[in-house]
Structure 1
Amino acid sequence: MKVKLLLIAVFAIAAGELFATTQNPFSRENISLNGQWNYLIDPYENGFYNYRRQAFDKSESGKGGYYDNRQQNHPNELIEYDFEHAPTMDVPGDWNSQVEELNFYEGSVWYFREFSLAPKEERAYKLYFGAVNYVADVYLNGKKLGQHKGGFTPFEYDVTDQLKAGKNFVVLKVDNTRKQDEVPTVNTDWWNYGGITRDVLLLVLPKEHVEDYTMGLNPQNNTEILGDVQVSGISAGQSVKVSIPELKLSQLIKLDGDGKGEYKFASKKIKYWSPESPKQYEVVISYGNDQVKDQIGFRTIQTAGKDILLNGKSIFLKGISIHDENPLLAGRLRSEGDIRMMLQWAKELGCNFVRLAHYPHNEKMVRMAEQMGLMVWAEVPVYWTISWENVETFANAKQQLSDLIHRDKNRAAVMVWSVGNETPVNEPRFKFMGGLVDHVRGLDNTRLVAAALELETKDGVMSCHDPLADKIDLISFNEYAGWYTSHALDKLSDIQFKFEQDKPVFISEFGAGAQPGYHSEERVRWSEEYQEDLYVNQLKMLEQIDGLRGMTPWILADFKSPRRPHPIYQNFWNRKGLISNTGEKKKAFYVLRDYYLSK
């Protein structure tokens, strides 16, 4: 009973105190604001600050910035911007891939979109953004709604009282400038795509509506479904109905004064979600005039010694790492077609698992992975050189983690929450990342917690002496023997691994770069043959590890990176992909595929 009560309490925290955005927004009535937005490039931020570097929106009048969208009413009136005649770009989409002059641009760009509306008194309206990279200052009809930091998590504003009948306009100042104290920090190995990179929706909801809900299998009893629900704007004593029609389960839940309620279902007929059978049930949540429908799978994931158990059975995680980038069409993944292409490639590779690196990917990516039977490692961009002792940096990372968990907590496919990648072993970093691990466990005790660690190599033996390994559920690490080290490929199997921790071992990265179409009988570096040989010998080496339970080699497809300037082999592409930027499968693709098919 103690475990059950703990689980319900954890769900309640995730749904209540840390509530950020409306759950399952794409299922709600909405007006899409995707499409063509006008933009203005503003490297000096003239539209935000006056010549004394004072923010217009913090002045006494709150006026003077580009967000006012001033119109010229007299020929002698001085206005130095004009959204109406400004060029346009697609939203969702990044500016780097859409505007040639902005390819390497880091700075501020203003976005403008006008729309018409006849607001209804009995409705509530929320302005929802799937992701904006990195800092977004958001204005509606000239009034500031707020500022959001973080390039990969959703956010929304209740704009019920700000909308007017007729024409309305939204303005954003988006700044993707890299800064040391942000998350991620200045140093990354991916393209810093700026802009409104995911969907923009105006949610249209009943005044009293279902804001949030959680539903999942009790990890201690796989015949029990536990959850909670949050309804807005009601008084205590009212009820919400939660049902799973296929299982003939239905319950009226009494809500407290905050609109919260908890529930429990029992059934021995539950079919569990797995890669072989990605079963989802339609869930219906009804309150008054509001109804939400979702597709939810039920499963358990846990470790037992050196094993990983899915629904109580041992499983090997046959994975691949993926960036949120289309190698064929420059820029972030924009559509469900883009997403399906990437996940279908993973399925062709024989995968049952994907690592969505190094930041939260699109909610649509996670949902589609679940439908296709692909388990997910989800991560926040605590990467390399974070300001470990900065309190605000930690708060930022913690918030991004909260937002990710809140968004994807009902997705059965998500097996692992990762708190970071390739971070140095020292006391400030341990305190920072250890705090994130504790935060995850306080929000969700139904999944594994991990991080991509680095190993220590001494006398030909790789081992993990990172104290963070004692706090997480996997001995999960990146290693690049044969690429970033001097190990000869045919000697990789001589490397030994020794781990004191009694935990499953998971290889979160290994790999090598290969220029697509470059072949060499001598199997020299950058050739497809070198990458092929590295995979052959890496897999032999890794098979010797006691407790090896999975891997996500780096990476599914070539991706853009400013860190990779070599004009012949890279040209600002990271070439470790198993698939080229023209969609051609490299020779190593088939090595890994054959290995996975044999598992």
Structure 2
Amino acid sequence: MAISTFRASLLKGFLGYFFLLCGSSISHGQTPVNVYDRCSTSLEGYWKYIVDPYENGFYNYRLEAFDEQDNPSKNAFFTDSKPADRSELLEYDFDLSDSIYVPGDWNSQKEKLFYYEGTVWYRRHFDYTKQDSSNRVFLYFGAVNNRCHVYLNGIKIGQHTGGFTPFSFEVTALLKDTGNSLVVKVDNKRIKEGVPTLNTDWWNYGGITREVSLVETPETYVEDYSVHLARDKPGTLQGSVLLNGSLKAGRQVQVRIPELQKSIQVLTDDKGMASFSLPVDTLRLWSDQDPKRYKVILSTGQDSVSEWIGFRNISVKGRDILLNGRPVFLKGISIHEESPVRKGRAHTREDARILLGWARELGCNFVRLAHYPHNEHMVRLADSLGMLVWEEIPVYWTIAWENPSTYNNAAKQLNEVIRRDKNRASVIIWSMANETPTSPTRTQFLTDLATLTRSLDPTRLISAALEQSALNGNPKIRTIEDNFARVVDILSFNQYIGWYDGLPDKAREISWKIEQEKPVFISEFGGGAKQGLHGDKYTRWTEEYQEFLYEENLKMLSGIEQLRGMSPWILVDFRSPRRMLPEIQDGWNRKGLISEEGIKKKAFYSLQKYYLTKE
């Protein structure tokens, strides 16, 4: 109980404070929301880099951090220094160092860094002149894996932990018209208290893996907003807006939806907040069959932002998942964030187009983005395609459940992804964890995350990928015995009958007794196959074995009365240092329905056939 009480106080303080307005929430910070659609200046391109496994550019020989000293040594890499004369000793030089492309991971770009985990310093020189002298400028990062310290012109502007969520820093006072030096220390070492922790089953891609840009705003700007369909008032849109700046109080904000010929004027309070409720006469609801979106414009006297937003309701009733009040079956697939083009971390619109295109070809209306928040292209493209989305944070396997800093990190990542994607109609599920062993501290950890999530966004469903077990010790009857099952809206679990648990035909012997009156979703099942390897259906690693496994599992799972969807593991083979069987895995998890070369395996068509028969 002491841990729970401590975390309850964190809900009020660790990230600032949260405003609960009209069924949604906005967190107070400085990062402008919807950087995606704002005018910005990209810093994409080649940056200089230095590999620093001993962190000589960060600490002196006494292990004292340079950036905590009043007059740091010029040997601190973030100073980006040059010798004052030919006798001065400096032991680094960015100008003479190799270059690497940003955004991107270092593992796939530099063969010598393929397995490297540690510190790499990045440096970029740039010029920048503001459009208006009174404007503010923010340095925005889509993601950096996993911990980073950021310096501009020799001054530390901040740090961030979490490899898959966006963050930014205001740099208005530090920018120069010419000759800016941006230095980022990136460290992807796995640590026990981290989120994720030491042990995972995916590649730990290091680097500045998503976009970096300079975002310019007026002095008082629209920092955040939320617009959604009211859950309890059909035909009504609800929302809230937050301004940031010296003129944020008592400001008029106009919200317009031109296609609906609807607008409303609201007045901000002394904190820059305002809420609104907007009745609409005719509204096409967003769905997987009709992904209708409307352009929403929010404007003040100084700032204006707009984006395309779909409006829909997602809920559960008994055993059903309801999309706009109608039952929906989630025909899904799990996806890792790897590029089918470059064989590294995915980060481009083209990566998203290929991955979601394959999912659509498979017959999916749903994707599980595992096991961390994916890049923003994925959820925005899902919006336009009518693809329903499960998003999760990397609370994976064995997290340090009793460590307050571990919980803080998980909660911070949840806040950041919810803040980024709360206006995406495609996102219907926030997941708290994957395959975590049950214990009282773990259950409290996840329950606190669920409480936080519902306070930030009560308009979506909560789940987690749980584990199944034998009912009363009977291995032929499977069930879910997990106290966290009482917390979730959708009962999701992973099972690997036919792969880690017997052969595929064992599925014929298994029945399921799910006592919770909730929708059941199979978040993972599957098995490995080396594309092009053929044999009989009992020969492991062949396409025939994987095909047999899918056919038997689909028959078995169809017998679960509450079954309302699935996301088998996984769309495409992905890199994992855990998977080292020569000539078969070679560093790849082979459970994909498509090879890393983009070739479909036989099981792809088995699942496709099943989905084509589901309504």
> In the alignment, does 2:388 pair up with 1:378?
no
Kindly state the Cα deviation for residue 307 of structure 1 after the two structures are TM-superposed: 0.5
Among 200, 208, 215, which residue is 2:212 paired with? 200
Q: How does 1:80-159 map to 2 (within 5 A)?
A: 80-119=91-130, 120-159=132-171
The amino acid that maps onto 1:398 is A
Kindly state the Cα deviation for residue 62 of structure 1 after the two structures are TM-superposed: 3.8
> What CA deviation, in whole Å up to 9, does each residue of 1:169-193 have, x standing for no partner?
1100000000000100000000000
**SS state at 2:87 partner:** coil
Kindly state the Cα deviation for residue 496 of structure 1 after the two structures are TM-superposed: 0.9
Kindly state the Cα deviation for residue 118 of structure 1 after the two structures are TM-superposed: 2.2
How many angstroms apart in 2 are the aligned matches of 1:195 and 1:374? 29
Q: Note if contact 2:529-2:542 (Cα within 8 Å) is conserved in structure 1.
A: yes
How many angstroms apart in 1 are the aligned matches of 2:86 and 2:248? 56
How many angstroms apart in 1 are the aligned matches of 2:356 and 2:195? 27
> What CA deviation, in whole Å up to 9, does each residue of 1:129-162 have, x standing for no partner?
0000000100000000111000000000011111
Q: Note if contact 1:20-1:155 (Cα within 8 Å) is conserved in structure 2.
A: no
How many angstroms apart in 1 are the aligned matches of 2:483 and 2:610? 32
Among 494, 498, 501, which residue is 1:478 paired with? 494
Among 226, 250, 253, which residue is 1:214 paired with? 226
Kindly state the Cα deviation for residue 85 of structure 1 after the two structures are TM-superposed: 1.7
How many angstroms apart in 1 are the aligned matches of 2:257 and 2:19? 19
Residue in 2 that maps onto 1:583 = 598
How many angstroms apart in 2 are the aligned matches of 1:134 and 1:11? 35
Residue in 1 that maps onto 2:381 = 368
Residue in 2 that maps onto 1:554 = 569
Q: Note if contact 1:253-1:263 (Cα within 8 Å) is conserved in structure 2.
A: yes
How many angstroms apart in 2 are the aligned matches of 1:76 and 1:52? 24
How many angstroms apart in 2 are the aligned matches of 1:509 and 1:232? 43
How many angstroms apart in 2 are the aligned matches of 1:11 and 1:573? 46
Q: Note if contact 1:8-1:226 (Cα within 8 Å) is conserved in structure 2.
A: no
How many angstroms apart in 1 are the aligned matches of 2:110 and 2:461? 41
Q: Note if contact 1:505-1:549 (Cα within 8 Å) is conserved in structure 2.
A: yes
**SS state at 1:166 partner:** coil
How many angstroms apart in 2 are the aligned matches of 1:151 and 1:20? 20
Q: Note if contact 1:327-1:559 (Cα within 8 Å) is conserved in structure 2.
A: no
> In the alignment, does 2:535 pair up with 1:520?
yes
Change (3 A) 1:32 1:11: farther
Change (3 A) 1:10 1:476: farther
- Structure 1 stretches of 4+ with a deviation exceeding 2 A read 7-14
How many angstroms apart in 1 are the aligned matches of 2:22 and 2:90? 51
Residue in 1 that maps onto 2:184 = 172
> In the alignment, does 2:43 pair up with 1:33?
yes
Q: Note if contact 2:368-2:391 (Cα within 8 Å) is conserved in structure 1.
A: yes
> What CA deviation, in whole Å up to 9, does each residue of 1:381-425 have, x standing for no partner?
000010000011001101100111111000000000001100001
Kindly state the Cα deviation for residue 568 of structure 1 after the two structures are TM-superposed: 1.6
The amino acid that maps onto 1:79 is L
Moved more, 407-416 or 259-268: 259-268
Q: Note if contact 2:123-2:184 (Cα within 8 Å) is conserved in structure 1.
A: yes
Moved more, 455-464 or 441-450: 455-464
Q: Note if contact 1:118-1:164 (Cα within 8 Å) is conserved in structure 2.
A: yes
In structure 1, the gaps of 5 or more residues are 1-6
In structure 2, the gaps of 5 or more residues are 1-17
How many angstroms apart in 1 are the aligned matches of 2:112 and 2:428? 41
Q: Note if contact 1:57-1:63 (Cα within 8 Å) is conserved in structure 2.
A: no
**SS state at 1:117 partner:** coil
How many angstroms apart in 2 are the aligned matches of 1:309 and 1:89? 47
Q: Note if contact 2:24-2:226 (Cα within 8 Å) is conserved in structure 1.
A: no
> What CA deviation, in whole Å up to 9, does each residue of 1:446-483 have, x standing for no partner?
11000000011232111111000000011100000010
**SS state at 2:94 partner:** coil
Kindly state the Cα deviation for residue 13 of structure 1 after the two structures are TM-superposed: 7.2
Moved more, 119-128 or 148-157: 119-128
> In the alignment, does 2:584 pair up with 1:569?
yes
> What CA deviation, in whole Å up to 9, does each residue of 1:240-276 have, x standing for no partner?
1111111111011101111111001111301000011
**SS state at 2:127 partner:** strand
Kindly state the Cα deviation for residue 72 of structure 1 after the two structures are TM-superposed: 2.2
Kindly state the Cα deviation for residue 59 of structure 1 after the two structures are TM-superposed: 1.4
The amino acid that maps onto 1:156 is S
Moved more, 435-444 or 193-202: 435-444
Kindly state the Cα deviation for residue 222 of structure 1 after the two structures are TM-superposed: 2.6
How many angstroms apart in 2 are the aligned matches of 1:209 and 1:63? 38
> In the alignment, does 2:83 pair up with 1:72?
yes
**SS state at 1:253 partner:** strand
Percent identity, please.
Answer: 51
Kindly state the Cα deviation for residue 10 of structure 1 after the two structures are TM-superposed: 4.7
After TM superposition, the score normalised by the length of structure 1 is 0.97
How many angstroms apart in 2 are the aligned matches of 1:519 and 1:511? 17
Q: Note if contact 1:8-1:228 (Cα within 8 Å) is conserved in structure 2.
A: no
Q: Note if contact 1:10-1:443 (Cα within 8 Å) is conserved in structure 2.
A: no
CA RMSD, Structure 1 to Structure 2 (Å): 1.3
**SS state at 1:472 partner:** coil
Kindly state the Cα deviation for residue 329 of structure 1 after the two structures are TM-superposed: 1.8
